[in-house]
Structure 1
Amino acid sequence: MGVRATVMGAGAWGTAFAMILATAGNEVTLWARRPEIAEGINNTGCNPDYLTGTHLPGVTATADPDAALTGAEVVVLAVPAQQLRANLAGWTMPAEAIVVSLAKGIEVGTLQTMGQVVHEHGILRDRITVVSGPNLADEIAARQPATTVVAGWDRAVAEQVGAVCRTPWFRPYTSIDVIGCEIAGATKNAIALAVGMGMGRGFGANSMASLITRGLAESTRLGESLGADPHTFAGLAGMGDLVATCMSPLSRNRSFGEHLGRGLSVAEATTASRGVAEGVRSSTSILALAHRQDVEMPIVERVVQVLAGELSPDEAIRTLMARETKPER
């Protein structure tokens, strides 16, 4: 028997997750910030702006957050990471609902993960879960086989969310390493920007594999410094999500990096990109968190310098290659 589930955010991933929940047999409401998006979904069964060819049977949309949240047993947060706190401040969350965060990023200023932001808003930690993994929305919408990780501080709650979103083509695994999954999910976006820059410069498989592997090492170091299980970074939320985000042309972060590698400015790359590239907004806060933890993250540091206009992509690569050699581990 399904639950009453509400997805707050009708972007690509929120829309795809609403489809997952409906397919799994739940009663699903999708909140859209713009009324015309909600009207389009209700009138045509498709989101007029995101995943436009994807039918959403069983999904009801609304632009009224109170109407969307009333009576929800599971609330899925699918808004951009840097907007989450402001949105939560304007919403009245159901007292007993399980909260699922899809957002991936480190909040600017506070250096908090999204789970920490949700908890600070007054949600009991044991009712918070996060979803992370190789989950490109377009492929999910096409019902291609995919896996994910549902992480929660309470294993039983994570398992409950996993059961709620399981379909024949979407398989969730569970974890209690919330911080590991969140750090992996945030840092992979910054690494994907670096990989995209390399692709934009025409570099091949050796270069990309080097960036992905050393980027994973950076992410793991940061996660371990915060108490995460290093094994998380070798799994779906770590390596799995990193590979998908770095290698797929569907990845907004990789595509943004490619624009930079081809010589576009940050402003021009923003105009050329559709949707939010979370790595652009979170890279600075990831680096600040690394500095706070005394963790070295040279790839992320070069990404931040390119985004700030301090280095060109070629200069960033040269400085990385010129670093002093050392043992791999």
Structure 2
Amino acid sequence: MSILVIAEHDNASIKAGTLNTLAAAQAIGGDIDLLVVGSGCGAAAEAGAKIAGVSKVRVADAAHYADGGAENVAALVVANAGGYTHILAAASTFGKNVMPRVAAQLDVAQISEIVTVVSADTFRRPIYAGNAIATVQSADPVKIITVRTTGFDPVAETGGSASVEALDAAADTGLTKLVNRELTKSERPELGAAGIIVSGGRGLGNGENYHSLLEPLADKLNAALGASRAAVDAGYVPNDYQVGQTGKIVAPQLYVAIGISGAIQHLAGMKDSKVIVAINKDEEAPIFQVADYGLVADLFDAVPALTAALG
């Protein structure tokens, strides 16, 4: 078997989700090629060659790949799909944008957000907001798969010595053009890869309370900040803070849920966290059903006290 993993990168380094995706590829078994698509992405390709378990890095470096547009990336993947039995990408915004296009053009079904590899043609994936696990078997000649990164431990970033091969760029489809990109800049860890997350919900009341209460606590813990959909919809924070079924799926070592009731959509995005701490004044809140430690208290008293106790 031959497997192609599509790398996510910033032209300088490989993003963490790709390491989890490579772990899923290793569970399938076979030779693993890593595809790096970008513009001026040589450093990312060299970083990919050092990752444990990668047999070969294939690099497509061209100006029309600079913005990572899904149409151009998908066209390149389809053009080079021959010979591969499996094509994988992380179930991130990037992967969810590219892989359905690849599957449609190859006329095969996509297998989305796998969390377990049973065999080379059989996988498990969550359905119904994670309340059930479906076992999916595919007879397609090439399996197009997105990987829920929280389901697999990342492979080592070092220890590999893969060869690097230049790949001819596919023609520019010209279907889309990036007009502008607004990025949220933060000194804190990236939400999807953070080891500790402090997350707030509608119980905080407004955006000012969110920032004044949660930011000092996150600073003490060196944590990323997250939020429930209710907090995002209420305008407390931007939507890239959102954790849940329609936001980011996370599994940090520690998840602190403050003023979050625990709607099923939110639980689907964080219930695989190693340790969950919940603070909520409603003792019947569903969040307490998944919490390892729960404090029934007014968050406006408890959070400042917790922050002060951390020194």
TM-score grouping bracket, smaller chain normalisation: 0.3 to 0.5
> TM-score normalised to the size of structure 1?
0.34
